[in-house]
Structure formats: structure tokens, C-alpha cells
């Protein structure tokens, strides 16, 4: 069943403390969009509601444009075109290459549009940038098959020996400038950058050589990352570690794809709801999602649908392994079986009140701009 999303205007008044605005924004009120620089992180959020937002494009270009001779940029991107709103990213990489930056790229291929990335691949090759395109997944799944796709969207930048990891839900097409997306950049985390770089090398070579299942996740400096395809479900495993809920605790989920073939995630959300946490879920309004299936576990009023949601994030504020924690899980990983078992993907956990606060306010905006479910026996809950 499909649901129509009503546009709901929401205004908030609290400001994000100690945040520097980037991406051409003005005052970044809580729940607003655009990019903010925090302590060791940059976070971008878009929700154009019928318009277009290139904040994520501008932030990636800003990061690349700061590189110089001897620096490195590695990228892995699923969909990448030269359409006008997103072309600046490719142009920025080509300029970087010309000024002596070591640039290499892995590009995916969408099955329904296999030639869509050809133009950017040709331009990169003409500029001397090394490019690897994977027709399906770059890496084999646990059964040894490359069923794909390479669904990643991340950039690894090393500038003056300072590493940055950028992961985003955003694909580089005109269409995606009209959708709700997020980006997070982690600055200065050498361990995290090293892990992503080792994963990127395996994508480029098309082989897991030297890595088994136990190598597919790693803790960083206040972070934790997982890469795919893999056998076990890290989202369900992480949610299982929620051990208690105090008043006001919450687990809020904004995922473009949350399908019934990931029942363990739904079961954990239902368990957390019974612990006393506020559980809310926003999913994309599409036929492959089943919001009523989610609501049967999480309760009436806990699920809404959004007309242009492409985000993949969870914000958690609860007792986690016996300690009060604020965590954000984001990246390119969808809550469906294919994303876990077959696709090349990444999931990043970042901790801390400031980052979690930004995502919490963003979730409130998405929730208020989403359509309520009308299900027999359920009453929709109040806005957060």
C-alpha cells in the first residue's frame, strides 16, 4: 500500500550550540537543513520538500578543494552522473588530480540504467584518474557470488596527513538533489580512515583477500564501522545491546528501505519499545516497504511514511550495555536482505551528544513532514 505525504511546515527555535554553518546556510536552527561543523565532525541534512538542495554536493567539493599535491582522495560511489547540480564533484576531483592529488575511484552500476555512469567514467579516465567500475558488487557475498550492486557512497581524504572519512546516502544525480539525505564526515580518526581505506582497496581489487567475516568491522576513536556484504546483522546486534530505557529515552529510525526480510531489526525495536523507550520509524513511501508490518511490533503511531526519504540513519539515546549513550548509525546500508547479504555497503556509528542532537532535530523535521498511517486499531502518536 502507498501513502501520500502531506507537506507540513515546521519551525523550530533552539539553535545548535557551537556549530559553524557551511554549505551557504544562514542560521542553523534545530531541525533545519544544511551543513554544520561540530567538534571533529561535519553533518549535512537535506529535505527539499519539492525543491532542490545541493548542500551535500557543496560540502564534498569544499573538502576536495582543500587538498594539494601529495594528498590523496579515494571514492566509492553507486550512481554518478554529470548532470548540472552534481557535476561540481567530478570537476573538483579532476582539478585535484591536475594539481597533484592522488585520486582513484570505484563506481557502481545501476541495473536499470547500466550506462548512466559512463560519462563521468570517461571524463575521469581522460583526466588520468584511475577508475574501477563494478557491474554487480565489487566483492563476493558469503556464498562467493557478486550479486551487488556496489551501493557505497563514501570519500576518503588525506590532507596534510590529516584523514577524513565522508559517508552519505546521496547519489550524484539531479533526482537526488530533490530527496532527503544526510552526510557525516569524521575528521582526524586515523583508525577509521585506515579501515575504510583497506575496504576501498578490496573494492578496487574485487577481492576479500586477507579478510574474513571478523575483519568486516572495527572500532575507531569513538566510532565503529561495518562493511558489507556480510553474514550477520549488525543493526539487530547493536539494538540488542539496548538494556534499559529511562524517561525520555528513544530510538528513532529514518530509513528509505525497511523491508520484512529483516525481521530481527523489527523484533529488537519491539523489544526496546517494551523496555519503555520511545520508538519511531519513518520510511520511504514505496511499495517494497511495509510500514504496517513495522507498526505491529512498535505500536500505533510509531511509523510514518515520507514521500522523498533516502536517508539511512538511526539515532539512539538510551541505556546501551548498562550505560547511558547517545549514538547515531548512518551510511548507505538499507534495512533489507539484499543490502546485508549481497551489496557492497557501509554502516558507521558515531557517538556523542552533539552529533546525536543534530540527527535528533533532523528526525523531528522528517517526522513532521511525513504522512500518518491510518490503521485499524492504531492511533497516531504525537509529534516528537
Predicted confidence band at 121 (pLDDT cuts at 50, 70, 90)? very high
CATH architecture of structural domain 20-215: 2-Layer Sandwich (3.30)
Predicted confidence band at 381 (pLDDT cuts at 50, 70, 90)? low
pLDDT of the residue at 26: 31
Q: Is the pLDDT confidence value at 284 over 90?
A: yes
| CB under 8 A, 24+ apart: contacts of 215-222 | 218/191, 218/192, 219/191, 220/186, 220/189, 220/191, 220/192, 220/195, 221/188, 221/189, 221/190, 221/191, 221/192, 222/189, 222/350, 222/351, 222/352
pLDDT of the residue at 259: 97
The span from the CA of 175 to the CA of 189, in Å, is: 32
The span from the CA of 277 to the CA of 247, in Å, is: 8
Which of 23-27, 168-172, 351-355 shows the lowest per-residue confidence on average (mean pLDDT)? 23-27
Q: What is the mean pLDDT of the chain?
A: 91
Q: What is the radius of gyration, based on Cα positions, of the chain?
A: 20
Widest pairwise Cα distance in the chain? 63
pLDDT of the residue at 373: 87
For residue 279, the Cα-to-chain-centroid distance in whole angstroms is: 20
Overall average pLDDT of the 370-380 stretch:
69
Predicted confidence band at 16 (pLDDT cuts at 50, 70, 90)? very low
Closest C-alpha to 114, from 92, 136, 83: 136
Alpha helices in 6-70 (DSSP H): 55-65
Residue 287: what are its φ and ψ, rounded to 5°? -65, -30
Q: Is the pLDDT confidence value at 164 over 70?
A: yes
Run of H or E residues at 217: strand 217-219
List of residues 6+ apart from 14 with CB closer than 8 A: 29, 30, 361
pTM given for the model: 0.92
Overall average pLDDT of the 190-194 stretch:
97
pLDDT of the residue at 46: 98
Domain 234-372 has CATH 3.30.870.10: yes
Overall average pLDDT of the 79-105 stretch:
98
Domains 20-215 and 234-372 alike in fold: yes
Overall average pLDDT of the 289-308 stretch:
96
Q: Is the pLDDT confidence value at 374 over 90?
A: no
Omega before 229 within 30 of 0, i.e. cis? yes
Overall average pLDDT of the 219-248 stretch:
97
Q: Is the pLDDT confidence value at 27 over 50?
A: no
pLDDT of the residue at 15: 33
> pLDDT exceeding 70 applies to what percent of the chain?
89
pLDDT of the residue at 380: 52
Predicted confidence band at 376 (pLDDT cuts at 50, 70, 90)? low
Q: Where do the structural domains in the chain lie, given as residue ranges?
A: 20-215, 234-372
Q: Is the pLDDT confidence value at 25 over 90?
A: no
Q: Is the pLDDT confidence value at 10 over 50?
A: no
The span from the CA of 299 to the CA of 303, in Å, is: 8
Q: Which residue has the higher pLDDT, 379 or 331?
A: 331
Overall average pLDDT of the 270-275 stretch:
98
Q: List residues bridging with 102 in a β-sheet.
A: 72
The span from the CA of 119 to the CA of 72, in Å, is: 23
Closest C-alpha to 301, from 191, 381, 245: 381
List of residues 6+ apart from 284 with CB closer than 8 A: 255, 256, 257, 305, 306, 307, 308, 309, 310
The span from the CA of 183 to the CA of 56, in Å, is: 7
* Bridge pairing between strands 242-244 and 41-46: unpaired
Overall average pLDDT of the 218-247 stretch:
97
Predicted confidence band at 22 (pLDDT cuts at 50, 70, 90)? low
Q: Is the pLDDT confidence value at 289 over 50?
A: yes
Q: Is the pLDDT confidence value at 165 over 50?
A: yes
Amino acid at each position: 500500500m502507498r501513502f501520500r505525504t502531506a507537506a507540513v511546515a515546521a519551525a523550530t527555535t533552539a539553535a545548535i550550540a557551537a556549530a559553524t554553518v557551511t554549505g551557504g546556510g544562514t542560521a542553523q536552527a534545530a531541525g533545519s537543513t544544511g551543513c554544520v561543523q561540530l567538534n571533529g565532525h561535519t553533518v549535512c541534512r537535506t529535505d527539499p520538500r519539492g525543491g532542490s538542495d545541493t548542500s551535500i554536493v557543496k560540502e564534498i567539493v569544499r573538502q576536495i578543494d582543500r587538498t594539494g599535491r601529495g594528498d590523496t582522495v579515494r571514492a566509492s560511489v553507486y550512481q554518478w552522473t554529470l548532470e548540472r547540480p552534481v557535476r561540481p564533484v567530478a570537476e573538483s576531483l579532476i582539478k585535484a588530480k591536475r594539481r597533484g592529488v592522488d585520486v582513484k575511484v570505484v563506481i557502481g552500476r545501476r541495473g536499470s540504467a547500466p550506462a548512466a555512469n559512463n560519462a563521468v567514467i570517461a571524463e575521469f579516465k581522460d583526466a588520468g584518474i584511475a577508475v574501477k567500475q563494478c557491474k554487480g558488487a565489487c566483492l563476493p557475498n558469503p556464498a562467493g557470488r557478486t550479486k551487488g550492486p556496489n551501493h557505497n557512497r563514501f570519500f576518503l581524504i588525506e590532507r596534510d596527513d590529516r584523514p577524513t572519512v565522508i559517508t552519505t546516502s546521496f547519489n550524484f544525480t539531479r533526482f537526488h538533489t530533490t530527496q532527503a539525505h544526510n552526510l557525516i564526515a569524521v575528521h582526524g580518526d586515523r583508525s577509521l580512515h585506515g579501515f575504510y581505506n583497506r575496504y576501498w582497496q578490496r573494492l578496487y581489487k574485487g577481492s576479500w583477500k586477507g579478510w574474513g567475516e571478523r575483519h568486516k568491522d572495527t572500532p575507531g576513536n569513538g566510532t565503529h564501522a561495518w562493511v558489507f556484504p556480510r553474514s550477520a546483522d549488525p543493526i539487530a546486534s547493536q539494538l540488542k545491546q539496548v538494556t534499559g530505557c529511562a524517561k525520555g529515552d528513544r530510538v528513532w529510525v529514518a530509513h528509505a528501505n525497511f523491508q520484512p526480510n529483516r525481521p530481527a531489526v523489527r523484533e529488537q525495536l519491539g523489544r526496546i519499545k517494551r523496555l519503555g523507550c520511545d520508538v519511531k520509524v519513518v520510511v520511504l513511501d514505496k511499495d517494497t516497504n511495509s510500514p504496517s508490518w513495522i507498526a505491529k511490533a512498535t505500536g500505533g503511531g510509531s511509523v510514518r511514511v515520507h514521500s522523498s526519504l533516502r536517508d539511512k540513519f538511526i539515532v539512539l539515546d538510551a541505556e546501551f550495555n548498562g550505560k547511558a549513550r547517545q549514538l547515531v548509525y548512518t551510511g548507505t546500508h538499507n534495512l533489507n536482505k539484499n543490502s546485508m547479504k549481497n551489496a557492497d555497503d557501509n554502516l558507521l556509528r558515531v557517538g556523542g551528544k552533539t552529533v546525536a542532537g543534530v540527527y535528533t532535530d533532523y528526525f523531528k523535521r522528517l517526522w513532521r513532514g511525513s504522512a500518518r498511517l491510518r490503521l485499524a486499531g492504531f492511533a497516531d502518536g504525537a509529534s516528537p
